[in-house]
Amino acid sequence: MGVKIFASAFGNGGVRRFLDLSRAPTAKEAAALAKRKDRLIDAGKSRSEAMNEMRRLADTGGLEEIRLRSEFIRLAVPPTRTDYSDRSVPPSEDRPPSTRLMSPNGIALKFLLIALFEAQSRTKPGQKPAGNSTPLIGRSTSDISWSRYIASGARPSGKGKHRMSPANKKLRTLRETIDRLEKEDLVDCPNRSAPKDKQEGFLLMREDAVPGRTGDLYKVPSEDDDYFTVPTHLFTNGWIYVLEDSELALLLIATRMRHKYGDTGHRITASTRLLNYGLSRDAFYAHQMLDNLKLLQVLPDEARWLDGTRVENYSARGAKPHSLRFLPEGLQKDGPTALLDEIEYQLGRI
């Protein structure tokens, strides 16, 4: 059984070691990892093309990082109702956009981040993007289009007039995603009344918009805004395509903490995680994969015993949440390769 060793200085300067006992995957977890591996492989060609487009955008705009408003991931003022539990997270309207958009199958969170990345590749801080003339799908496979910015492992299905190509499936996914973002007041569709192609020319709204409130058209955050930065390697090295939504949301949380507090670990209390970030306990467990991928350094309570089952003096002090530290250098690796290696390692431990 593999173990991870954490060293913690305390007291009179002595160093005490604590272990995070890393177990092999259960049968259920192994099945989920196997399916994730299949999806990773199936989307390989499409993902490589999308990553090339991300690199083109970064090179065009000279981007090394993008700016995100803090309230995209963290509510400054938590909901007044607090009778939620980790098994009953606040409803959508009481969560920030990042966790409102989380879905096991959809791409709304990923696509919005890609759209913000695209906008910043051609827009200076404090300014609004100059419209959106990029079509959802091009007339030829070489045309620049939004469909080239997303990855899909979809295969042809159906026969005759009911046959759907991978390109048509991508287009359907894009339309459904933009519809979802419009309901969340995160995009506006000026062609909504058109007989067809209603989502063409969609416009970004502020990424920290709250549904039901009048939103503003998107401006790239300026120095006057409360924002944090995310390395463009998240996009150019393919991490945006291979991380699950819970992993992506938690990584953004850790990225903001590093921007705000410096290069050190930071703890999130259960109430803050739930009410400010809208993140359930189960979603928080995404830290395990992020730690394995060396995108986060996760440090447990320094009072936790070697076997992981007890916390020293628990009755008096309780247990502290894990400390999270974002490791930006981890994003410099090729995301798909790193994830595939990690999945194969975990499956090999069974």
* pLDDT one-digit tens code per residue, 33-51: 999 999 999 999 999 999 9
Residues 154-177 have a mean pLDDT of 86
Q: What is the pLDDT of residue 22?
A: 64
Q: How confident is the model at residue 154 (pLDDT cuts 50, 70, 90)?
A: confident
Contact of 223 with 104, CB cutoff 8 Å: no
Structure confidence at residue 318 (pLDDT) = 45
The per-residue pLDDT for 23 is 77
More confident residue, 319 or 253: 253
Contact 291, 254 (CB under 8 A): no
Could you give the CA distance from residue 336 to residue 153 in angstroms, rounded to a whole number?
Answer: 14
| Backbone torsions φ then ψ of 14, nearest 5 degrees | -70, 160
Amino acid at 153: G
Contact present, 190 and 162 (Cβ < 8 Å):
no
**Quick one: DSSP state of residue 85?**
B
Which residues on neighbouring strands pair with residue 311, listed in sequence order?
304
Measured N-to-C along each axis, helices 27-42 and 335-347 cross at an angle, to the nearest 10 degrees, of: 150
Give the integer Cα–Cα distance in Å for 264 and 91.
Answer: 32
3-state secondary structure of 240: helix
> DSSP assignment, residue 311?
B
The two structure tokens encoding residue 266? 């930071």
DSSP 152-212: -----BS-GGG-B-HHHHHHHHHHHHHHHHHHTTSEE-TTTTSSS-TTTT-EEBPTT--TT
Q: Residue 2: pLDDT band by 50, 70, 90 thresholds? A: very low
- With H, G, I as helix, E, B as strand and everything else as coil, classify residue 46: helix
Structure tokens at 24: 């092999």
Phi, psi angle pair for 204, to nearest 5°: -75, 140
> Pick the residue with more confidence: 204 or 5?
204
Q: What is the pLDDT of residue 321?
A: 63
- For position 10, what pLDDT does the model report? 31
**pLDDT digits 0-9 by tens, 173-217:** 999 999 999 999 999 999 999 999 999 999 999 999 987 765 799
pLDDT at 83: 77
- How does strand 296-299 pair with strand 323-326? antiparallel
pLDDT digits (tens, 9 = 90+) for 283-302: 998 999 999 999 999 887 55
Give the H/E segment covering residue 17: strand 14-21
Q: What is the DSSP letter of 89?
A: P
- Which residue is associated with the tokens 């091009």? 138
